[in-house]
């Protein structure tokens, strides 16, 4: 009888140990996806804020109508992206403030010091680099386990690619 009790207790302990190990594995994966989602949301918002601010400078400093047209399009589109991302931020209960990081702020400060063709070229180069990063960010987010994040990323990715193509084309035409 003792052997039967020990056997039953052993099976129960193994069952609970296995259940706990499965739960840890699932939580680890979920945490990674959650972190990927938070990174996507925060970097997306931050990049958009920087691009909107830089594009606002174009409206007042540039005389090139192609550059101004691109800047207006970026302001409109990134304002919409920002709204989409802020809704995700609320849904995910992310409470950290939305700010422009120090590296982007330095770029904006440097851009503000430029004028004329030098300003246009610096703006376009900044937009190209930032949009290359955004394409990677949004492409990765299309594979996220959260359907809301995948949807926002997939809906906005074509527009980001179009901004990149437009900025590249205008930049080439300036040379």
d(CA 52, CA 55): 5
Q: What is the model's pLDDT at position 50?
A: 94
Among residues of the chain, what percentage have pLDDT more than 90? 67
Q: What is the model's pLDDT at position 4?
A: 55
Domain assignment present for 22? no
Q: What is the model's pLDDT at position 113?
A: 96
CATH number for position 167 = 1.20.1260.10
Half-sphere exposure in the Cβ direction for 70 (13 Å, CA): 27
**Percent composition of the chain: helix, strand, coil (DSSP 3-state, to 5):** 85, 0, 15
Residue 70: left (phi > 0), alpha (psi -120 to 50), or beta?
Answer: alpha
Domain assignment present for 77? yes
d(CA 76, CA 52): 9
The range of the structural domain enclosing residue 75 comes to 35-174
Q: Which residue ranges in the chain fall short of pLDDT 50?
A: 22-33
Domain count for the chain: 1
Domain assignment present for 20? no
- Farthest-apart Cα atoms in the chain, separation: 93
Domain assignment present for 115? yes
Tell me 38's DSSP state. Answer: H
Q: What is the pTM of this model?
A: 0.78
């Amino acid at each position: 009888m003792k052997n039967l009790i020990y056997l039953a207790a052993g099976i129960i302990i193994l069952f609970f140990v296995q259940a706990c190990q499965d739960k840890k594995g699932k939580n680890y994966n979920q945490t990674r996806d959650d972190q990927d989602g938070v990174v996507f949301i925060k970097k997306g918002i931050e990049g958009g804020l920087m691009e909107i601010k830089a594009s606002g400078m174009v409206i007042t400093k540039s005389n090139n109508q192609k550059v101004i047209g691109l800047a207006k399009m970026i302001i409109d589109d990134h304002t919409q992206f920002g709204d989409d991302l802020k809704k995700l931020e609320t849904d995910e209960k992310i409470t950290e403030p939305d700010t422009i990081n120090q590296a982007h702020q330095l770029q904006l400060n440097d851009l503000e010091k430029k004028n004329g063709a030098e300003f246009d070229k610096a703006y376009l180069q900044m937009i190209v680099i930032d949009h290359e990063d955004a394409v990677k960010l949004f492409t990765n987010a299309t594979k996220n386990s959260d359907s809301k994040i995948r949807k926002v990323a997939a809906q906005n990715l074509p527009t980001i690619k179009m901004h990149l193509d437009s900025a590249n084309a205008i930049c080439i035409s300036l040379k």
